[in-house]
């Protein structure tokens, strides 16, 4: 039996939060500033908008991007705060998360709710200062955080909806990047859906690793209610679905908007395969994505793929039109 498994069995399944001494450090910690690195998912929206070519980019784009990124970070921190507060009772059943600031008594819960609203007001307000589309996108990002965390919906407790509703933040982040540039056009639906499904792929892998590490279905369902329905097999099937859907919609986007990106497919597949492989390691980094930078193979693949895709968004390769042009094949009516 591993140390984490032993701790998990000793931890109470349920219980009230222990008394403690709230600290400023505890309140800063629940903002999860170290998770701001996840806002890297905004960058593809910026690149896509800059390469769109359907409209001129208004002046001041650099300033809009800086303030827009800060807006996304603040709204994300607002969602993290309410997540930390509402998850605290169930975190007591987790061998590691029971040491988080709220369940360990380092946060004043009433003050945390004030912190939650204040971060939302600052983040959404800053979004509207950049432009109205970004402001509405930030409001949607915050609302989805409420849907995910707050009853009566609290989608994080519902199997499959937990992954789908959490991962909707991916296309919202892409839209945020898109609107920071200043374009008025809406981003292609196929690209947004592909981005959503990729997020689902990553999130389902995280669920798989969490469930496997806990190792006890009863303890797992006490920690996360959706685990009462999940099994390792069901999670693997869902991972396959999300991976397939993401690539199908990405293919639709590529064939219609940017054929050059087909050259990036091998590296995209490599990134997804390496990420899935990490899920099978004990205490995997996929459970804590902010630590993925410690995985050299994954980081090398991600950087190479990102650079190649960014270049292909701006470089035209006309030979591909000839290679992929329609043939004489016809579908019978």
Taking the C-alpha atoms of residue 269 and residue 265, their distance in angstroms, rounded to an integer, is 6
- Mean pLDDT over residues 84-95, rounded? 82
- Mean pLDDT over residues 230-250, rounded? 97
- Mean pLDDT over residues 220-249, rounded? 95
pLDDT above 80 (res 135): yes
Q: Which of 105, 104, 37, 114 is nearest to 82 (CA)?
A: 114
Question: What is the DSSP code (8-state) at residue 131?
Answer: -
- The whole-number pLDDT of residue 20 equals 67
Question: Under a CB-based contact definition with an 8 Å cutoff, are residues 204 and 238 in contact?
Answer: yes
Taking the C-alpha atoms of residue 115 and residue 112, their distance in angstroms, rounded to an integer, is 5
Q: What is the pLDDT of residues 62-86, one digit of tens each?
A: 999 999 999 999 999 999 999 999 9
- The whole-number pLDDT of residue 18 equals 60
Query: Is-cis flag, bond preceding 205, omega within 30?
Result: no
Residue 163 dihedral angles phi and psi, to the nearest 5°: -70, -45
- The whole-number pLDDT of residue 125 equals 98
Of residues 13 and 88, which shows the higher confidence score? 88
pLDDT above 50 (res 254): yes
Taking the C-alpha atoms of residue 319 and residue 260, their distance in angstroms, rounded to an integer, is 10
Of residues 91 and 132, which shows the higher confidence score? 132
Q: For residue 53, count CB atoms less than 10 angstroms from its CB and return exposed for 0-12, middle for 13-18, buried for 19 or more.
A: exposed
Question: Under a CB-based contact definition with an 8 Å cutoff, are residues 130 and 180 in contact?
Answer: yes
Tokens representing residue 89 in the block: 């009772």
- The whole-number pLDDT of residue 249 equals 97
- The whole-number pLDDT of residue 2 equals 41
Report the chain's mean pLDDT, rounded to a whole number.
89
- The whole-number pLDDT of residue 333 equals 54
- The whole-number pLDDT of residue 331 equals 58
- The whole-number pLDDT of residue 105 equals 87
Size of the chain, expressed as the number of residues it contains: 333
* Residue 96 pLDDT level (bands cut at 50, 70, 90): confident
- The whole-number pLDDT of residue 242 equals 98
Question: Under a CB-based contact definition with an 8 Å cutoff, are residues 272 and 266 in contact?
Answer: no
Q: How far is CA 23 from CA 82, 90, 283, in A?
A: 17, 22, 29
- Mean pLDDT over residues 121-125, rounded? 98
Question: Under a CB-based contact definition with an 8 Å cutoff, are residues 191 and 253 in contact?
Answer: yes
Question: Under a CB-based contact definition with an 8 Å cutoff, are residues 81 and 197 in contact?
Answer: no
Q: What is the pLDDT of residues 187-225, one digit of tens each?
A: 999 999 999 999 999 999 999 999 999 888 998 888 889
pLDDT above 50 (res 5): no
Question: Under a CB-based contact definition with an 8 Å cutoff, are residues 266 and 247 in contact?
Answer: no
- The whole-number pLDDT of residue 4 equals 40
Q: What is the pLDDT of residues 10-46, one digit of tens each?
A: 333 344 666 668 899 999 999 999 889 889 899 999 9
* Residue 55 pLDDT level (bands cut at 50, 70, 90): low
Taking the C-alpha atoms of residue 289 and residue 296, their distance in angstroms, rounded to an integer, is 14
Count the neighbouring beta carbons within 10 Å of the beta carbon of residue 156: 20
Question: Under a CB-based contact definition with an 8 Å cutoff, are residues 198 and 269 in contact?
Answer: no
Q: What is the pLDDT of residues 272-329, one digit of tens each?
A: 999 999 999 988 999 988 788 889 999 999 999 999 999 999 999 999 988 988 776 6
CATH architecture of 22-186: Orthogonal Bundle (1.10)
Question: What is the DSSP code (8-state) at residue 283?
Answer: T
Question: Under a CB-based contact definition with an 8 Å cutoff, are residues 73 and 39 in contact?
Answer: yes
Tokens representing residue 314 in the block: 């701006």
Comparing 7-16, 39-48, 162-171, the range with the smallest average pLDDT is 7-16
pLDDT above 60 (res 89): yes
pLDDT above 80 (res 91): no
- The whole-number pLDDT of residue 183 equals 79
Tokens representing residue 271 in the block: 């990134």
pTM of the model: 0.85
Taking the C-alpha atoms of residue 213 and residue 308, their distance in angstroms, rounded to an integer, is 35
């Amino acid at each position: 039996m591993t140390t984490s498994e032993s701790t998990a069995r000793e931890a109470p399944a349920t219980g009230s939060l222990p008394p403690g001494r709230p600290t400023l450090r505890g309140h800063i910690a629940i903002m999860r500033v170290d998770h701001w690195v996840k806002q890297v998912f905004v960058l593809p929206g910026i690149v896509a908008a800059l390469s769109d070519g359907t409209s001129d980019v208004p002046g001041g784009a650099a300033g809009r991007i800086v303030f827009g990124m800060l807006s996304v970070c603040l709204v994300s921190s607002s969602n993290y705060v309410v997540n930390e507060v509402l998850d605290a009772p169930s975190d007591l059943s987790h061998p590691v998360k029971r040491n988080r600031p709220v369940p360990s008594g380092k946060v004043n819960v009433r003050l945390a709710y004030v912190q939650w609203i204040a971060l939302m007001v600052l983040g959404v307000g800053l979004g509207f200062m950049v432009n109205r589309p970004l402001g509405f996108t930030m409001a949607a990002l915050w609302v989805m955080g409420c849907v995910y965390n707050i009853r009566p919906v609290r989608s994080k407790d519902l199997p499959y909806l937990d992954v789908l509703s959490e991962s909707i933040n991916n296309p919202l982040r892409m839209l945020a990047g898109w609107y920071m540039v200043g374009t008025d056009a809406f981003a292609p639906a196929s690209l947004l859906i592909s981005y959503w499904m990729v997020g689902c792929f990553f999130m389902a892998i995280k669920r798989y690793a969490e469930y496997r590490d806990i190792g006890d279905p009863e303890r797992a369902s006490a920690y996360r209610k959706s685990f009462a329905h999940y099994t390792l097999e069901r999670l693997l099937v869902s991972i396959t679905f999300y991976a397939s859907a993401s690539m199908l919609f990405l293919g639709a986007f590529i064939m219609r908007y940017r054929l050059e990106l087909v050259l990036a497919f091998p590296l995209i597949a490599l990134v997804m395969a390496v990420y899935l492989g990490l899920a099978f390691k004990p205490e995997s980094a996929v459970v804590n994505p902010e630590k993925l930078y410690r995985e050299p193979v994954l980081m090398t693949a991600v950087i190479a793929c990102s650079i190649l895709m960014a270049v292909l968004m701006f470089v035209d390769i006309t030979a591909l039109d000839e290679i992929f042009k329609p043939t004489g094949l016809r579908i019978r009516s």
